[in-house]
């Protein structure tokens, strides 16, 4: 009992909350990278490549459900803490400054990306709901691969991205993911205390590159699929 | 040189405040605080209340000369306190907005003076080391590795001014608290209270109503002692170690 309340106190403290955003952030970033690599198979004109990948995942059965629920929990924990940090900040700092100016040597690691984490985060949350309804629970047709039943997820993606509005929606959200990760990738490592004075500049720069690569990778998919069908 | 000032005037903690325009004749050799002294002489001669502001050492070591100058804590120079800023960095006819630190945990007492007692309570929660009373110990009795001693000293240069809180969009006190924790965690003298220190100081910082850290790094840019946010990374490592053991 004693030790349990100590763990809860630690995890809900200001440092504990950052560790949790950091840990969930790292895991979600790994997921996002894996998701992009898997999705690149959509670019193969043969629908079977992507569909048999989808089938392989579905064949994990219970294990897949466990991973899906774990991912949902990660996002939920991450979002709840992110929103609570924002709510707390509104209370801790009511007014801003009327004067405007800049500090010699810059204003730290602040950027449009770092100041809009709550906005890009909430957009991501809404996007994730739409995205999961659309593709995980979407109207995918049944098909056969090597005599076994599978879902034609490839076809569902193709028909979705034949619509310019869906393409624009995805491109827009992917740009915001890039923004979220531009600050996020640097921030999660600092949150977990993985920082040395000599590294922080390099890591902050690397976060920009990785964020950009992920955003461009993801947004090229709907664009290429649309252009091929146009 | 003639300056157009806009200074935050507020009669008390619960009064409404506002920016009031003043004109002041300064010369480039003055420090920013001397320029404020000139303004106050002017106000006193005119029978008005002088602008209240904190100051003491006027050489960058006491951490009391807290002003947000044109939106930037301690003004535009890197690694200096307001008292080390000189008027030669301004041009004739410039407009300069002077405001107090803004954070709910640092309530305004009057004009530019805020109450930073929250910092004292964070220190009281654990920012100290226990020593035996008696005669002063011999110097160099405890050997400390050179690079550790230097790192500890860098973190020890924090003067407790609160510019980190003033600059932070979340009004987080993480840099101040972390610099104390990092400093003492690097030295053998700090070992006895190492675990309880970090747990208690972090708890106190939250109780005082400071916000969470979002890793904006605005604090390190504003810090007159240029303490890097790596101190905050050290604080987090110390916290995890203390919470797990
Ligand atoms: C695929 C989904 C997501 C990924 C990969 C992701 C990634 C990250 C990463 C790596 C961080 C930095 C963690 C840290 O500062 O320690 C972060 C911070 C943040 N995330 Fe997300 N995130 C995602 C979804 C969301 C969602 C749905 C929200 C909903 C509100 C959100 C809100 C935030 C906020 C507010 C922060 C800043 C926290 C702070 O101020 O310190 N994120 N995110
Ligand atoms: S960390 Fe820097 S800005 Fe913050 S109180 Fe100490 S000296 Fe001032
Ligand atoms: S008056 Fe002491 S630091 Fe400026």
Residue A70, domain member (yes or no): yes
Same domain, B101 and B120: no
Residue A36, domain member (yes or no): no
State which H helix or E strand residue B231 sits in.
Answer: helix B230-244
Domain tally, chain B: 2
Cα(A179)–Cα(A116) distance, rounded to whole angstroms? 8
Atom of ligand 3 nearest to the CA of B82: 4
Same domain, B161 and B218: yes
Range of the domain at A163: 15-30+42-86+110-229
Residue A29 CA from chain centroid, whole number:
6
Give the mean pLDDT of B202-227. Answer: 96
Tell whether ligand 3 has an atom less than 6 A from the beta carbon of residue B36: no
Give the mean pLDDT of B20-30. Answer: 96
The pLDDT score that the predictor gives to residue A230 is 80
pLDDT above 90: residue B198 = yes
Q: Calculate how far, in angstroms, residue B52's C-alpha sits from the geometric centre of ligand 1.
A: 42
Are B17 and B8 within 8 A, CB to CB? yes
Sequential pLDDT tens for chain A (230 residues): 456 677 888 888 999 999 999 999 999 999 999 999 999 999 998 999 999 999 999 999 899 999 999 999 999 999 999 999 999 999 999 888 999 998 887 888 888 999 999 999 999 999 999 999 999 998 888 888 888 888 999 999 999 999 999 999 999 999 999 999 999 999 999 999 887 777 888 999 999 999 999 999 999 999 999 999 88
Question: B109, B142, B173 — which closes off a domain?
Answer: B109
Q: Calculate how far, in angstroms, residue B183's C-alpha sits from the geometric centre of ligand 2.
A: 13
Is A100 within 8 Å of B71 when comparing Cβ atoms?
yes
Is B70 within 8 Å of A100 when comparing Cβ atoms?
yes
Q: What is the pLDDT of residues B41-87, one digit of tens each?
A: 999 999 999 999 999 999 999 999 999 999 999 999 999 999 999 99
Range of the domain at B218: 116-244
Cα(B245)–Cα(B243) distance, rounded to whole angstroms? 6
Which residue shows structure tokens 């804590």?
Answer: B73
The pLDDT score that the predictor gives to residue A1 is 43
Q: B215 — contact with chain A (CB < 8 Å)?
A: yes
Is A99 within 8 Å of B71 when comparing Cβ atoms?
yes
Q: What is the pLDDT of residues A85-104, one digit of tens each?
A: 999 999 999 888 999 998 88
Question: B91, B109, B127 — which closes off a domain?
Answer: B109
- B56 secondary structure, DSSP code: S
Are B99 and A130 within 8 A, CB to CB? no
Give the mean pLDDT of B185-213. Answer: 95
Domain tally, chain A: 1
Q: Count the Cβ atoms, other than its own, within 10 Å of residue A154.
A: 23
Cα(B214)–Cα(A187) distance, rounded to whole angstroms? 7
Same domain, B105 and B153: no
């Amino acid at each position: 009992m004693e030790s349990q309340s100590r763990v809860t106190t630690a995890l809900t403290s200001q440092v504990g909350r950052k560790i949790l955003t950091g840990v969930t952030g790292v895991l979600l970033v790994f997921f996002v990278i894996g998701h992009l690599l898997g999705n690149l198979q959509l670019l193969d004109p043969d629908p079977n490549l992507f569909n048999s990948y989808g089938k392989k995942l579905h064949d994990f059965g219970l294990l897949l459900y466990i991973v899906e629920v774990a991912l949902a929990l990660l996002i939920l924990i991450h979002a709840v803490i992110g929103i609570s940090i924002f709510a707390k900040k509104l209370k801790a700092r009511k007014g801003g400054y009327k004067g405007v100016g800049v500090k010699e040597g810059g204003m730290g690691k602040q950027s449009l990306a770092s100041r809009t984490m709550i906005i890009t985060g909430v957009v991501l949350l809404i996007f994730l709901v739409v995205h999961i309804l659309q593709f995980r629970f979407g109207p995918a047709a049944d098909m056969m691969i090597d005599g076994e039943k599978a879902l034609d997820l490839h076809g569902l993606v193709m028909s979705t991205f034949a619509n310019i509005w869906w393409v624009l929606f995805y491109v827009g959200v992917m740009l915001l993911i890039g923004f979220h990760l531009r600050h996020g990738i640097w921030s999660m490592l600092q949150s977990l205390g993985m920082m040395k004075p000599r590294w922080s500049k390099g890591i902050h720069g690397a976060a920009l590159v990785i964020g950009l690569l992920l955003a461009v990778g993801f947004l090229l998919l709907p664009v290429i699929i649309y252009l091929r069908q146009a | 040189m003639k300056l157009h000032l806009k200074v935050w005037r507020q009669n008390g903690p619960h009064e409404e405040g506002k920016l009031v325009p003043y004109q002041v004749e300064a010369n480039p050799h003055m420090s920013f605080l001397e320029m404020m002294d000139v303004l106050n002489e002017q106000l006193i001669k005119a029978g008005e209340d002088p602008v209240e502001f904190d100051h003491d050492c006027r050489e960058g070591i006491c951490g009391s000369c807290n002003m947000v100058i044109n939106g930037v804590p301690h003004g535009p120079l890197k690694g200096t306190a307001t008292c080390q800023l000189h008027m030669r960095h301004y041009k004739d006819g410039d407009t300069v907005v002077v405001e107090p630190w803004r954070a709910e945990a640092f309530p305004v007492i009057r004009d530019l003076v805020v109450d930073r007692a929250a910092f004292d309570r964070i220190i009281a929660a654990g920012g100290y080391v226990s020593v035996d009373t008696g005669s002063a110990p011999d110097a160099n009795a405890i050997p400390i590795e050179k690079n550790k001693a230097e790192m500890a000293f860098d973190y020890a240069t924090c003067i407790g001014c609160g510019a980190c809180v003033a600059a932070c969009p979340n009004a987080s006190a993480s840099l101040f608290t972390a610099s104390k924790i990092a400093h003492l965690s690097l030295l053998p003298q700090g070992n006895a209270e190492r675990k309880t220190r970090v747990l208690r100081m972090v708890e106190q910082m939250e109780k005082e109503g400071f916000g969470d850290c979002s890793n904006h790094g605005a604090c390190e840019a504003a810090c007159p002692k240029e303490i890097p946010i790596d101190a905050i990374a050290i604080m987090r490592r110390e916290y995890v170690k203390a919470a797990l053991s």
